[in-house]
Chain A
Amino acid sequence: MDAEVTLTVDGTEHRVRVDTRTSLLDALRERIGNTSPKKGCDHGQCGACTVLLDGDRALTCLALAVAHDGAEITTADGLAADGELHPVQQAFLDRDAFQCGYCTPGQVCSAVGVLEEVRRGWPSHASPDLTADPELSHDEVAERMSGNLCRCAAYVNIVPAVQQAGGAQA
């Protein structure tokens, strides 16, 4: 069955006809032509398809496009709108936080989401005190980024990159 959906992707509105079975990820990549979010596992286990969905980081492989009609989506591509890199993107470059780069757009979107969640004071499993404002320690970043796998294992540089972008000592 087909359905019409409107998605605003990186500031541009798109009206597309999709099969009801289409994931948000496939709608972005195959219908809208934005290949920034990547298809890794397609089962919600790797995080390569992470975008900012209505402001929060989310997996597009586990979201149906029809269920997100009207959504505002920012991909890693859209973070550098005017050619100027987002601080998280710059930090990934400065810290050499990737090797093959396949997981990087998902890592970057996830990191942007992490920094916003920390700014809001959201705790994590690694927070020593549930009621205190979280700090961007190594353990906090590692826990908060655990949904983004990197098969090159660039984690040792990803964690400092996220800390740098968040203004923490790394």
Chain B
Amino acid sequence: MKDFAFARPGSVAEAVRDVAAEPGAVFLAGGTNLVDHLRLGVARPELVVDVRRLTSREVLDTEDGGLRVGAAVTNSELAADRRVRERYPVLAQALLAGATGQLRNLATTGGNPLQRTRCVYFQDVTTPCNKREPGSGCSAVNGYTRYHAILGVPSAMPDPSAPETCIATHPSDMAIALAALDAVVHVVGPAGERTVPFGELHRLPGDDPSRDTVLEHGELITAIDLPPLPAGARSAYRKVRDRASYAFALVSVAAVVAGKDVRIALGGVAHKPWRATRAEELLRGGELTEHAVRHAVEVELTAAQPQPGIDGGNGFKIPLVTRTAVATLRDLEA
């Protein structure tokens, strides 16, 4: 592991200043992903700035009837919060579907959405990867694609040597639920405070796959707001994986039904949590029959670009995520 300096500043403002001043600096919260990356050589910071004890570890009621979750609230604490379990089951279910008890006790609200892809090539420093080493190429295109994207990629088998190629997926379950809940992210950075709608936090690879989010260097998540849902709203999260427990999603679906509105976010299919906005539009105000949901998701997936891959490829995700969406909404209608 490369040597690094360690700092534990006394305030958010100081932490932001420390990181902003050093291009090779990173924030450390729970550490469940970053410490592994330090050991693997995926992350090679000059300075690690510990922020775990700087942000709020409380879940507060907001005036509008929603919740404000401090960035230091652990994944375990958030999933166990009675208000989350009762009012935002999609979030509790997504949190509990991720990782293990020991990891959820460390992982934080601010850190979880910023965890990095589990693409095996990203985590293997001996292989080219545009996300880890911009311009080096993408090893996944001609490799194992079972856990890779089908949406937000330009084509099946994009040019592996092009600097913009990346078919990685975002690994967070929590993020899929937050996308469906229209959560709002509070950020403090060198230029001050701002809020980012959760749906705009993560990026597609675009021309720079090394950037997972729109956050600038030195910007720190301090809290995440869960807006209120209307009375009678229902929500659920369904995850499909290779093992019954402790595995990343092949695909997952977060669904919120609130009055005439239907919100659907798909996990395991793209570089970011994928809001199925075309499907949502088709379903708005209508009856959520199995046929209607299937049709809407099929329309959403007409843009899908399944990747061939040496492991048989990931075309299976199209029927799998369709069926998972149908099952999730059927559960909510029952």
Contacts and interface: CB of A to CB of B under 8 A. Distances in A.
Contacts of B100: 47, 146-147
Interface of A: 1, 3, 19-21, 23, 42-44, 47, 50, 53, 56-59, 61-64, 66-67, 69, 110, 113-114, 117, 120-125, 127, 130-131, 142-144, 146-147
Contacts of B50: 66-67
26 contacts: A1-B4, A3-B6, A20-B3, A20-B4, A20-B5, A20-B6, A21-B4, A44-B32, A47-B100, A47-B102, A56-B105, A57-B105, A58-B105, A61-B35, A62-B35, A64-B31, A66-B8, A67-B31, A67-B50, A120-B80, A130-B85, A130-B89, A131-B82, A143-B244, A146-B246, A147-B102
B105 A121 contact: no
Interface of B: 1, 3-6, 8, 28, 31-32, 35-36, 38-40, 48, 50, 52, 76, 79-80, 82, 85-86, 89, 92-93, 96-97, 99-103, 105-106, 244-246
A19 B38 CA distance: 14
Nearest to A147: B100
A66 to B, nearest CB: 5
Given A3-B6, A20-B48, A66-B6, A57 B101 contact: yes
Given A47-B102, A67-B50, A125 B97 contact: yes
Contacts of A64: 6, 28, 31, 35, 48
B212 to A, nearest CB: 20
Contact of A110 (B52, B80, B92, B101): B101
B85 A117 contact: no
B103 A67 contact: no
Contact of A59 (B6, B38, B106): B106
B32 A62 contact: yes
Given A21-B1, A147-B103, 17 more contacts: A21-B3, A21-B4, A42-B39, A53-B105, A59-B32, A59-B102, A59-B106, A62-B32, A64-B31, A66-B8, A66-B50, A67-B6, A67-B31, A110-B101, A114-B101, A131-B86, A147-B100
Contacts of A43: 36, 39-40
Contact of A44 (B52, B89, B103): B103
Contacts of A3: 6
A143 B245 contact: yes
Contacts of B28: 64, 67
Contacts of A131: 82, 85-86
